[in-house]
Structure 1
Amino acid sequence: MKNFLRNWGSGIVLGAMLLSAHAQADEFRVGFVNTDRIFRESAAAKTAQAKLEQEFAKREKELSDAGAVLKAASDKFEREASTLAESQRASRQKQLVDQDREFQRKRREFQEDLNSRKNEELQQVLEKANKVIKQVAETEKYDAVLQEAVYINPKYDITDKVIKALNGVGTK
């Protein structure tokens, strides 16, 4: 009976050691990538932002100028309203309302177009980043890489590696 218990006890210790060694060999590696940082700091994102600014600069200037003209006309109307005949006042007020409505429509269209193009550009950056994330994960043997988390220990953050690799991809 003693030999059985001794062998059984040795077997448990040996089994625990094997399981421990196996668990260490199969260590689960996880990384985290901060997508917002990629959108702010990567060369691809900065290039996309510059492209959008250039693409929309003319329309933005036109809107700004139209807003200034509308404001000047509104201010002028405010100053002169008390001296105008009722029919002139009503006519100019209607004209200002129509101009404001048109300005607001153009501003909405501009914002919608800008948002649509921004989403397109960010989607392209995200696709490039996801390819790089996969490459980093495979190269460094990560089992999982998360892009969204409520909390992540900074030691698991691989965002800098991904940004460096993504910037390297953009320069090739």
Structure 2
Amino acid sequence: MVVASFAMVSQAMAADLKVGYVQVDKILQEAPQTAESGKKLEKEFSPRSQDLDRMQKQIKDLETSLDKDSLTLSENDRRNKERDVSNLKIEFQRKQRELREDVNLRKNEELGALQDRINKAVTEVAKTEGYDLVIYGGVAFASPKIDLTSKVLQSLGKK
């Protein structure tokens, strides 16, 4: 009798439970903030990237010049130029590594800020629509009728 009454209570509670699902990957791809973030990062790191491009061209030009003039240069001059090219390559690799690290750091910062905005939008939609549970992340299967992704994207578009 106790088991039967527990089963009826749990069925009644389940009938009143409103569940929703949000596709994280779709939101990260389609949210307007994602494109804004990408443009912001590109603008922020463009000067350093262009500097690296110029440096790479300079290295290539120096190597070409060294190959072309190697027969006419004295041994000492040739070694000096080779050392200069080698030092420039080392500096290029250092700057390239630093840029990559800085870009990754900023991407993570931007992603964290975007995730905060997404979480707020999910919460807003869930409260507005009266959801008891919203699953946000990895799910093997979710019916399209409980998918809130488009509503969350719409909410993000307003901001």
TM-score, normalised relative to structure 2: 0.81
In the alignment, structure 1 residue 142 sits paired with structure 2 residue 131 = yes
Distance 2:49 2:154 in 1: 33
Counterpart AA for 1:81: S
Q: Please state if 1:121 is matched with 2:110.
A: yes
2:12 is the alignment partner of 1:22: yes
* Identity across matched positions, percent: 31
State the AA in 2 paired with 1:158: L
Q: What is the DSSP-based 3-state SS (H/G/I as helix, E as strand, rest coil) of the residue aligned with 1:142?
A: coil
Q: Where does structure 1 lack aligned partners over 5 or more consecutive residues?
A: 1-7
Residue in 1 aligned with 2:21?
Answer: 31
Partner of 1:51: 40
1:158 to 134, 148, 158: 148
* 1:49 positional shift: 1.5
Q: Is residue 31–residue 142 contact of structure 1 (8 Å, CA) maintained in 2?
A: no
Pairing 1:56-75 to 2, within 5 Å after superposition: 56-75=45-64
Q: Which has the larger radius of gyration?
A: 1
Take 2:7 and 2:138, find their aligned partners in 1: how far apart are those partners? Answer: 34
The AA in structure 2 aligned to 1:22 is A
Rounded Cα–Cα distance in structure 2 between residues aligned with 1:24 and 1:127: 30
Alpha-carbon spacing, 1:88–1:23, altered in 2? closer, same or farther (3 Å) = same
Tell me, in whole angstroms, the C-alpha distance in 2 between the residues paired with 1:114 and 1:144: 36
Unaligned ranges ≥5, structure 2: none
Distance 1:61 1:79 in 2: 27
Going from structure 1 to structure 2, the CA distance change for 1:40 and 1:32 (only over 3 Å counts) comes to closer
> In the TM superposition, what is the alpha-carbon distance from 1:53 to its structure 2 partner?
1.4
For 1:21 and 1:146, locate their aligned partners in 2 and report how far apart those are by CA, in whole Å: 20
Residue pair 1:137, 1:145 contacting (<8 A) in 2 also:
yes
Q: Which residue of 1 aligns with 2:100?
A: 111
Cα-to-partner distance string for 1:106-129 (whole Å, 9 max, x where unaligned): 111112222222222221111111
Question: TM-score scaled by structure 1?
Answer: 0.76
Cα distance change on mapping 1:159 and 1:97 into 2, 3 Å: same
Counterpart of 1:41 in structure 2 is: 30
Change (3 A) 1:16 1:148: closer
Superposition RMSD on alpha carbons, in Å? 2.7
